[in-house]
Amino acid sequence: MKPAIILLAWILVGTSPISSQVPEWVADDVAVLTTPSQAGGLSGNAGWIEFDDYVLVIDETIVDGKPRVAEIARRYSGKPIRFGVRTFGSGEKVSEDHFADVVWLTALESDFIAPQKRGDMADSTHVSSVVSGSVLEVQSGTILQDSHHLVEFHHVNDRESGSLAVYVPDSGVLFAGDLVGSGRSPSLLPIEGWIRALKRFEGMNPKIVVAGNGQVLGPEIIVETRSTLEKLKERFFDALGYAKNRKQVFDIVKPEDFGAISEFAFGKIYDELVGLRPATTFIDDLGLQEGPSPTAVSPGWTRPTKIVVADLWPGRTGQLALVAPGVDVVVAGDPSEAAELGRDADAVLGWLTPQIFNEAQNLRWVQLSSAGVERYLGIPGLNESDVVLSNAQRIFGPGGAEHVLGMVLMLSRRLNVALELQRKRRWDITPLTGATPYIGKGSELLELRGRTLLVVGLGGIGTEVARVANGIGMRVIATRGSSRHGPPFVEYVGLASELLDLVPEADVIVNSLPLTPTTEKLFGNEFFSRTKPTSFLINIGRGGTVDTEALMSALREGRILGAGLDVTDPEPLPENHDLWGMPNVIITPHLGGDGDGHMERMWLLFRENLRRFAKGEPLLSVVNKQRGY
């Protein structure tokens, strides 16, 4: 047992930091070392953990080109350094000369914050088989163990840095890195991810916390840091309600009032909350892509001077100006006001009419609040102009996917029939299953697990539909017009020309296509001649892509079993239209992509694209005006 009495006493009374040269044993076989940084302050929480036959080094520090912590660890332990890990950064090898035999552990890119299943990463036999001098990606919750020791690794940072926290459960020691204490604090971690990580740390119930600048603290620092972050976030949002610029915000929310957060992190949090930091998590989560648009390096590019924004978030829209300091960002309550204010504007966000397009002499960019663009592309001269058009593709994906799932479940479980029975106060399974009580036999209720869903148009909504369908155990295939590439939960992605070949495989067909000259009435008689009689068609795309007469004939003749229509042709559907009365059809009034989250996603898209436009960076979700999407 290594002495820790003095150190533990120091933790309780909160005296001076530990020595910069002599390690302190905070637990059996767990050492903490504070070393000078190049700036003369304290370095990151360096230390090591001794296993039976090797040492794991945490946050190596380089002094005069040499790995300082490893040298001290070798001197005290007499064992080889086998693994290295950082609680900050990507875990790249720091010195090939001095660390040629060390395996650096880094966070698995696809495993972000949330822990995955635990498993042995390296036991006594696995250690010897690991290739020396490599970088090994590990998932959150991975453990490193031998016959006497166990250490857990947990992700605490975003995809760009891939940082890990190191936890020793039996002694309760947590190397928390820059997430706690008065150290540098993470520069890349989004505040929500930071708070989630701290909550996870609280759930571990650690006894000793090694903080970012090498200080050893008690578990209360985790709660203090998390509470401070939550309070800071609330105060920032309150201030943004009436402050007009950064100075006004910082006059209200002062760094000295939040001592648990470094000034460095304080500024980064402000930048994130107002949108001055790139919204990488939001972009990655929705799979948004940059498109061709003029940038600061393009010939003739000039910084915009005026931008008009539709008042889609009353009381909040004006905050968008914070991401474009020095640019006149004005709010318009309706398209007519936008046309008047936009005569000398470089961009208009949220509105587009022929009047806006024709009268805005300096117009370079229009951001739409819809995913579909067909009605805007009909504005004379727009397609031939240099005006960049971006839309809200993928913003409606989560809501659209859930809407599709609801329609499919309603049709497959005949819930529409059940609702009619409920209104009549009638307890009868015969209309639902075709069976009689006690005798049974047969069923018209379908199980989706194992059946095939075909997504026609693997874009924003289509991809989310595929994700949800895969999640309930369906086989997913798809078509898309641009390529055969797709996410791993889609078994096969065919080109648009393969649609009729794939239709006979499908039990559920989801149409999420835009309306273009090539997709108009694509779902016609030839299409329905290939469908299974037990299949369902769900239209979440555009009504004009379906030949309505052909659809009704297929339903009447039993070439498909049912349809869920969020969009129709004509639209709105006239009161006397025959589709209303068809018992195997569910109709909703073009709201499939709506939900309580889509306007917040829209806000993030507008804000990020506005930031990019003001700085001359490539825009997201740029429309190909020739393709029509």
C-alpha distances out from residue 234 to 191, 197, 237, 326, 430, Å:
12, 18, 5, 26, 55
- Residue 109's pLDDT band, with cuts at 50, 70 and 90, is low
What's the pLDDT score for residue 62? 57
Return the percentage of the chain with pLDDT > 70, whole number.
Answer: 83
Low-confidence winner among 26-40, 210-224, 334-348 (lowest mean pLDDT): 26-40
Copy the structure tokens of residue 492.
Answer: 């096969």
Same fold? 5-224, 397-587: no
Domain extents in the chain: 5-224, 275-395+598-629, 397-587
Question: What gap in Å lies between CA 49 and CA 72, rounded to an integer?
Answer: 12
What's the pLDDT score for residue 275? 93
The domain 5-224: what is its CATH number? 3.60.15.10
Short-list 567, 592, 590, 599, CA closest to 395: 599
What's the pLDDT score for residue 570? 96
C-alpha distances out from residue 20 to 10, 47, 629, Å:
15, 11, 60
What's the pLDDT score for residue 557? 95
Query: At residue 348, what is the residue type?
Result: V
On the question of pLDDT at 339 being above 90, the answer is yes
Main-chain phi, psi angles of 61, to 5 degrees: -115, 135
Average pLDDT score, the chain: 84
Is the bond leading into 570 cis (omega within 30 degrees of zero)? yes
229 sits in which H/E element = helix 220-240
Short-list 165, 151, 154, 162, CA closest to 110: 162
- Residue 265's pLDDT band, with cuts at 50, 70 and 90, is confident
- Residue 187's pLDDT band, with cuts at 50, 70 and 90, is low
User: Does 35 or 588 have the greater pLDDT score?
Assistant: 588
On the question of pLDDT at 298 being above 60, the answer is yes
What's the pLDDT score for residue 139? 73
Question: What gap in Å lies between CA 260 and CA 266, rounded to an integer?
Answer: 10
pLDDT average, residue stretch 613-618: 97
Asked whether the beta carbons of 490 and 466 are under 8 A apart, the reply is yes
What's the pLDDT score for residue 299? 94
Highest mean pLDDT among 37-51, 196-210, 246-260, 293-307: 293-307
Question: Is the pTM of the predicted complex or chain greater than 0.75?
Answer: yes
What's the pLDDT score for residue 61? 62
pLDDT tens for residues 540-583?
A: 999 999 999 999 999 999 999 999 999 999 999 999 999 999 99
What's the pLDDT score for residue 543? 96
- Residue 116's pLDDT band, with cuts at 50, 70 and 90, is very low
On the question of pLDDT at 201 being above 50, the answer is yes
On the question of pLDDT at 386 being above 70, the answer is yes
pLDDT average, residue stretch 33-40: 54
Main-chain phi, psi angles of 567, to 5 degrees: -130, 150
What's the pLDDT score for residue 441? 47
- Residue 89's pLDDT band, with cuts at 50, 70 and 90, is low
On the question of pLDDT at 42 being above 50, the answer is no
On the question of pLDDT at 414 being above 70, the answer is yes
Asked whether the beta carbons of 54 and 60 are under 8 A apart, the reply is no
What's the pLDDT score for residue 69? 79
Report the 3 state secondary structure along 354-367: HHHHHHCCCCCEEE
On the question of pLDDT at 134 being above 70, the answer is no
The residue to which tokens 């026609």 are assigned = 456
On the question of pLDDT at 336 being above 90, the answer is yes
What's the pLDDT score for residue 568? 98
Q: Which residues pair with 144 in a beta bridge?
A: 122, 151
The domain 275-395+598-629: what is its CATH number? 3.40.50.720
pLDDT average, residue stretch 491-520: 96
Return the percentage of the chain with pLDDT > 90, whole number.
Answer: 60
pLDDT tens for residues 432-476?
A: 886 544 444 446 789 999 999 999 999 999 999 999 999 999 999
What's the pLDDT score for residue 360? 96
Instruction: Kindly give, in sequence order, each residue whose CB lies less than 8 Å from that of residue 574, ignoring residues fewer than 6 positions away.
Output: none
On the question of pLDDT at 56 being above 50, the answer is yes
On the question of pLDDT at 118 being above 90, the answer is no
Question: What gap in Å lies between CA 162 and CA 485, rounded to an integer?
Answer: 26
Copy the structure tokens of residue 82.
Answer: 């086998």
Return the beta strands (E) in 306-362 as ranges.
Answer: 306-310, 328-332, 347-349
pLDDT average, residue stretch 386-407: 96
CATH architecture classification, 397-587: 3-Layer(aba) Sandwich (3.40)
Total residue length of the chain = 629
What's the pLDDT score for residue 157? 60
